[in-house]
Every structure is written in C-alpha cells, then in structure tokens.
Amino acid sequence: MQPKENIPEKLLKPYDPTETEPRLYTLWEKSCLFNPDICIEKGFTLPNAKPFTIMMPPPNVTGVLHMGHATMITLEDIMIRYHRMKGDRTLWLPGTDHAAIATQSKVEKELTKTEGKSRHDLGREAFLEKVRNFAQESHDTIVRQVKTMGASCDWSREAFTLDETRTGAVLTMFKKMYEDGLIYRGTRVVNWDPKGQTTIADDEIVYEERMAKLYTFKYAHDFPISISTTRPETKVGDTAVAVHPDDPRYKEYIGKTYDIEFCGVPLHITIVADESVEQEFGTGALGVTPAHSMIDEQIAKKHNLPTIPVINEYAKMTVGDERILNKKTTVAREAIVAWLREEGLLEKEEEVKQNVATAERTGGIIEPLPKLQWFINVTKPIPARGNKTLKEIMRGPIENGAIKIIPDYFNKTYFHWIDNLRDWCISRQIWYGHRIPVWYKDQEIYVGITAPEGEGWVQDEDTLDTWFSSSLWTFSTLGWPEKTEDFAIYHPTDVLETGYEILFFWVARMILMTGYALDTIPFHTVYLHGTVRDGQGRKMSKSLGNGIDPLDVAREYGADAGRMALVVGTAPGTDSKISYDKIKAYKHFANKLWNITRFILGSTNNEHIEAPLLPSDIEQLTKYNEIAKDITKDIEDYRFYMASEKLYHYVWHELADILLEESKEIFLSGTPEAQNSRKTLLQTLLKQSLVMLHPFMPFVTEEIWSLIPHAEKETTLLMVTPWPVH
C-alpha cells in the first residue's frame, strides 16, 4: 500500500454530495455538452450519428417537483446519459407547461386571500399579468429543482407551452383542424365546475368516495316502473325510462308514453329499449336525464328524445315551484324526497358508497351540463389520411407495433379508452391560456392565426384546454410549423417516459395530433412509470404528512442516492415504495464507491497502470465483461431496475467484498507480476464500473473520474466518455 500523500486530499475525507453536486452541475453546464450540436463540434459525437431524442414531459408551473417528477427525470436522464456515451446524437429537450386551470386557480385563490378580490375586479389584462409573474417564478423554481436532480437536458432549447413558438403551433393547428371540419362549435353535455365556472377535462376530476342515499321510487302512482337514483333532483329533467329489450318485466311497456306531474313539474316520459341497460342493476330501469348525464345524452340521441336542462351553471334548479326553483341541487333533493314520502311514492331508501366527481383545483362537485363549447370530432373520416378517423389514427400505431408501450399490458387499457372516446371538448371558460382564435361579427365567424382586419370583430372569450397545446409537444418543441433542421433530425422522437395515469389524456392525444398533422408517430416507445408511495405503500399526501421532497433528499443524502432509491427494484408500470431508509442505503453505496476508489488509488500510487494480466485476473475481467454485457442489454431493453441492481451488487459484493479483500493479500505477499496485474485489473474495473454507473449516479461517478489517473486518450469528463463495447 502507498502512503496517504499519494491519494488526492478529497478522498481522505468522506464524500460530500452537498458540496459536490451543485459544483459538478455548473461544470457540465459550462461545458455545453448537454447540447448535441456542441458534442458534434467537440468531436464527442459524429455528425452522422443516429439521433436519440426525448422531450421532457413539461411539469406544470404551479409549484414544486414531487417524487413522481423525480422518477421521470431520473429515468429519462439514465437513457440520455447512456445514449450520449454511446455516441448517439442525443437531445433531451426540457420545458414547462402553463397548466391553465391549475395556474389560474392558484393565483385566484391567492388574490382572494391577500386582496379580497376576484379576477373580474382586476380585469383580464391586469389579472393575466399577475398569472404570468407567478408562472415565471414557479418556472424558475422548477428549473432549479430539475437541475438539482442532475438532469442533463439541453437548456438552450428549453420550451414553454405558452411561449411564442408554441403559441404559433397551437393557432396553426386549430385553424387547420377547423378548416378540415374536425373542430366544431356545438351544445353537448360537459363536465362543468360550478365553483370554477368552467368546463374541465376528465383528468381534472377527482373522484371522492362518499356515503350517499340511493332512493327507489315511482314518478307517480299510475306509472308502472320503479327507478333508483342518488340524485332525485335531476328527475325533473327526465324524458324517458330505459329498459333492456329482453327484460320480461318491462316488455309490454316499451314504446308507451306517460304524462305525469313530478313534484309540480310536468314530465312526458317515453319507455325505450336500450341494450346498455343492466337488467340486474337496481330495478333494471334507468331514468333518462339527457341534459345532466353523458350516458343519458347518448341514449337520448339514439332514441330522438328531447333534452331539457333543469340545473344551471351555479348548480341551482331552473324549473319547478317555490319548493325547488332557484334552490341549490342539494336543497332541492331534500324537498323532492320529502314530496315522494308524502305521496307514498318512495319505496326504498338505502345507504350506499358513491364516487362523487369533484374538480381537482376548486373542490367543486362536477355538474354535467349541456353547454355551447368547442369540440374536436374524433369519428369524422379525414380524406387526407385515407378517410381514417382520429380514433383510428390513435389505434393504428399501437396495433401495428410502430409504437411500443412498456409494459405492454397497458395496450388493452389504451384500446378500451379509445373505444369509449367521445368528442373532445377543448374550450375552457378561463382567461389564462391560448385564447381561441375565433372572432365574431354579427353572423360572421373568422378563424385565423391573427385577428381579422376591419372594425367590429370580437374574439371568443374562451381559452383552449391545456392538453391541446401539450399534445403538440414532440413537434412544436422542434419549431413546427416551420421546417427547422431540428425537426428534420429529431422527429419522430424515441421515447416518451411518463406516468401511467396520463396514458390517455396526454399520450393518446399526442399520437392523435401527430398522426393527423404529420402522418407519422410522435415517438417509438412509451415507458410508463407508476405512482411513488411511502414505505407503507400509502399514497403521499399533505393530510398524511408522508410526502418526501426530492430537494430535501438531495440536501440530506445527495441526488444520486435519491435516484438509485427510485430506480432499483422498480419495474415499469408498477407503483413503488420509497422511504428514507432506502435512500440512506444508497448514500452508503456512494460512500462505498468513494472508499473503493481510495483503496485502489492507494494501491496503485495514484498512477495509470497498464500491465499484462495474469490468467486469474483475465478470468475476473471476463466475468465482469459478461455482467457488463448483461447490464447493457438491460438498459437497451428498458430494464433499468435490473441494470441498477446488478451494478450495485457487482460493485458492493464482487469488487469490494471479494476482489479488494483478496487484493490486500496479493499486495502484501504476491509477486511483482501478480501485484501489477491486480493493480491493472482493479483500475480497469473501477473505471468500467464508473462508466456504467454514471447514468444512474452521475455526480459521484463524475467526481471520482476527475480524481483518478487516466490514459492520454481518455476524456476528462465522464459524461462524454464512450460506453464500453464488451
């Protein structure tokens, strides 16, 4: 063993991630090697190298990163660092999402809390200025957090869904779809948030399990069929009762009509036969309320039934006498139930568990309402796409294997969602976001990228659903509709990595938009990660106080430890558990790597050694090469959880526990040939292990790489050191 003075001073102290990680990230940024153009310019990538592209799923500019974001960043950075080291023309383009409803909602709440005002008190422009300031502050926070996690993305190409280039893409797409007859304005039942006063997307609904009462009753004494509902107040808008055509109990009534008075409201009820009705559920008969249920709306269209709205945008009744008129729906419910009891029409009342739809941002109970909105038609044939519909465009690439979903059992879920897909409501009654590019003057309508010339035109007040802009993400980020060099090189992208919960809301819509606009696919592979839960398997939440902040992890244990804890043992598509104990274990692993390096440098006099290997050491190197080949294949096949575990096991148990212990004896009493052979082996194995660990633990590996001796041909930065070919 050599004296301590030959070992770099840093290695004589414990590894300090809090000092190392920010310094190294600054070094990487200054090198500009996150940018593939600079990698080519400096000779680390060949100009004709195969591109590898990931567009970062843009975090919402509404707050801080959570462990789901940390998982996404870690997995994508593993892929990016691996492909950069392989010599691919590697682009990871970062960005953020304006997240219209979420961002506006946050600012509105703060405005009410601090100034006691609403957005209407400020006016549109003054309010939007406040939102833009909040979004910028939030954006800056998110960027700092992404960098803390070690993300090696190309910040020179950063995008924002509401910036000028992305806005141009959104307006161009709207105009194109409108001119192709795919975007239309019509009245349909939508998810209405009475608290936020806007339509919301299906994914912005949070279902809360609550106790409710299921009432079974007849509309009138002479009405032949009983129905069940948890919302009797909507029954004043019923226009039919649907039964299964094969149900023997009701066959004789099919086609008959009944004029009745229900709690002071006249109803004209038709008995219709519909195969969607479940005979075994409840009474086997469904009261059809076309104006206040999306399912009932479909039944009504099929049977040409009238639609009668009875609830308004503020969740108040619009029909009836003083008992229910202008009353909140919950109040009207009690009044109608009291009337049913008085009339002897209430047959049964039972407690049931019910999933109540609430708005994610405001907590308001969703009210399905018929509203005049903008929609995308998903069932209209498109001549330019071989008369395929948008639904067919979404199905095709998954069916024919052009896009691979990992894990593949999500294919079934994907197809089920498309089969049940309705026309997409894209308008929102909020101010923040891409304003719908439609202007009105008397009976004229103008749709364009810029405002029409002339006086008297008024622009539509609504904005577009955030998913409309984010569905263009893989190509709007590359400059579309302009034909940029980046677009020609990097599209279609290679991998989309995201949470399985937005497979439909985002992934499917990106496939839709790319197939429609470009007649191609947005990416070749979709890698889905699951929900990150606490050590007990519970979902992280403020109420439970069990959340883990990725920044706290980086400060306390180092980002490398957090990254490994998120990846090891976590298969795609499955929920995972994380705890401080698990994170701490990988901090110990970083320290182990540090200590291994200190031992090897002390043993080699901190010099680069290339001596002939003895047969026993050749055997050890061959054994490592087999493991390394295995790990490379795991990475290529997206088995990051297996690759990371094998690396951990090899470094800790093979290199440290066996080889280093064995080497101590060789350095004490072995022949000079044996000692030099073992020094060369240890140095080789250390370097190879650092290279292969780098995508997973970039900071500690880069730091150690800078402290060890190298051959002249080796690069000074580990992040662009070639991946070994075994």
The pair of structure tokens assigned to 142 is 């998110």
Say how far apart CA 640 and CA 624 lie, in whole Å. Answer: 18
**Strand-strand pairing, 346-359 and 205-217:** antiparallel
Say how far apart CA 304 and CA 293 lie, in whole Å. Answer: 16
What does pTM read for this prediction? Answer: 0.92
φ, ψ dihedrals at 57, nearest 5°? -55, 120
pLDDT at 123: 92
Task: Return the amino acid letter for 608.
Answer: H
Beta bridge mates, 285:
243
φ, ψ dihedrals at 228, nearest 5°? -125, 145
Say how far apart CA 690 and CA 584 lie, in whole Å. Answer: 20
Say how far apart CA 336 and CA 316 lie, in whole Å. Answer: 14
> Is 138 strand, coil or helix?
helix
Smallest CA-to-CA distance from 522 within 428, 394, 424 is with: 394
The pair of structure tokens assigned to 352 is 């049931």
Asked whether the beta carbons of 647 and 670 are under 8 A apart, the reply is: no
> What are the counts of helices (DSSP H) followed by strands (DSSP E) for the chain?
23, 25
Half-sphere exposure of 20 (CA within 13 A, CB side): 26
Q: In 312-409, which ranges are continuous DSSP H helix?
A: 329-343, 390-399
pLDDT mean by block of 10 residues, the chain; 726 residues: 70 95 98 97 95 95 84 97 98 94 88 91 92 92 94 97 96 98 96 93 85 96 96 97 96 96 96 94 94 95 96 96 96 97 96 92 91 96 96 97 96 92 94 97 95 95 95 98 96 96 90 98 96 78 70 92 94 88 94 96 91 96 96 97 97 95 94 96 97 98 95 86 89
Query: Residue 572, Cα to own-chain centre: how many angstroms?
Result: 14
What residues have CB less than 8 Å from 480, skipping those under 6 apart? 169, 472, 487, 517, 518
The pair of structure tokens assigned to 304 is 């040409």
The pair of structure tokens assigned to 496 is 């989309």
Let me know if 300 is exposed, middle or buried by CB neighbors in 10 A (0-12, 13-18, 19+): buried
State the maximum Cα–Cα separation within the chain, in Å, rounded to a whole number.
107
Handedness of CA 169, 173, 179, 185 (dihedral sign): negative
> Is 208 strand, coil or helix?
strand
Between vectors from CA 464 to CA 461 and to CA 468, what angle results, nearest 5°? 165
Between vectors from CA 661 to CA 657 and to CA 666, what angle results, nearest 5°? 150
Asked whether the beta carbons of 389 and 422 are under 8 A apart, the reply is: no
What residues have CB less than 8 Å from 577, skipping those under 6 apart? 532, 533, 534, 535, 536, 537
Task: Give the other-Cβ count within 10 Å of 416's Cβ.
Answer: 11
Query: Residue 390, Cα to own-chain centre: how many angstroms?
Result: 22
Say how far apart CA 589 and CA 563 lie, in whole Å. Answer: 12
φ, ψ dihedrals at 528, nearest 5°? -105, 125
Say how far apart CA 294 and CA 314 lie, in whole Å. Answer: 19
602-611 burial by CB neighbour count: b if 16+ within 10 A, else e?
bbbebeebeb
Query: Residue 323, Cα to own-chain centre: how many angstroms?
Result: 46
Task: Give the other-Cβ count within 10 Å of 317's Cβ.
Answer: 25
216-229 burial by CB neighbour count: b if 16+ within 10 A, else e?
bbbbbeebebbbbb
Say how far apart CA 458 and CA 195 lie, in whole Å. Answer: 27
Sheet arrangement for strand 265-273: 257-262, 265-273, 240-243, 285-288
Q: What is the 3-state secondary structure (H, E, C) of 633-647?
A: HHHHCCCHHHHHHHH
Question: pLDDT exceeding 70 applies to what percent of the chain?
Answer: 98
pLDDT at 5: 61
Find where tokens 């392989």 sit.
86
DSSP letter, residue 611: -
Say how far apart CA 8 and CA 17 lie, in whole Å. Answer: 17
Beta bridge mates, 440:
445, 458
Say how far apart CA 163 and CA 161 lie, in whole Å. Answer: 6
pLDDT at 543: 58
Say how far apart CA 642 and CA 646 lie, in whole Å. Answer: 6
Say how far apart CA 214 and CA 459 lie, in whole Å. Answer: 45
What residues have CB less than 8 Å from 243, skipping those under 6 apart? 225, 249, 250, 253, 254, 271, 272, 273, 274, 277, 284, 285, 286
pLDDT at 2: 46
Q: Do you know the residue count of the chain?
A: 726
Smallest CA-to-CA distance from 254 within 233, 280, 275 is with: 275
Task: Give the other-Cβ count within 10 Å of 116's Cβ.
Answer: 8
Say how far apart CA 148 and CA 64 lie, in whole Å. Answer: 12
Task: Give the other-Cβ count within 10 Å of 335's Cβ.
Answer: 20
The pair of structure tokens assigned to 587 is 């901090």
Task: Return the amino acid letter for 590.
Answer: A
The pair of structure tokens assigned to 243 is 């039964």
The pair of structure tokens assigned to 579 is 């705890």
The pair of structure tokens assigned to 149 is 């996690």
Beta bridge mates, 659:
none
The pair of structure tokens assigned to 46 is 């060949």
- Cα dihedral 578, 582, 587, 589, rounded to 10, equals -130
The full set of domains in the chain, from first to last, is 4-10+579-720 (1.10.730.10), 199-368 (3.90.740.10)
Q: What are the pLDDT digits (tens) for 222-262?
A: 999 999 999 999 999 999 999 999 999 999 999 999 999 99
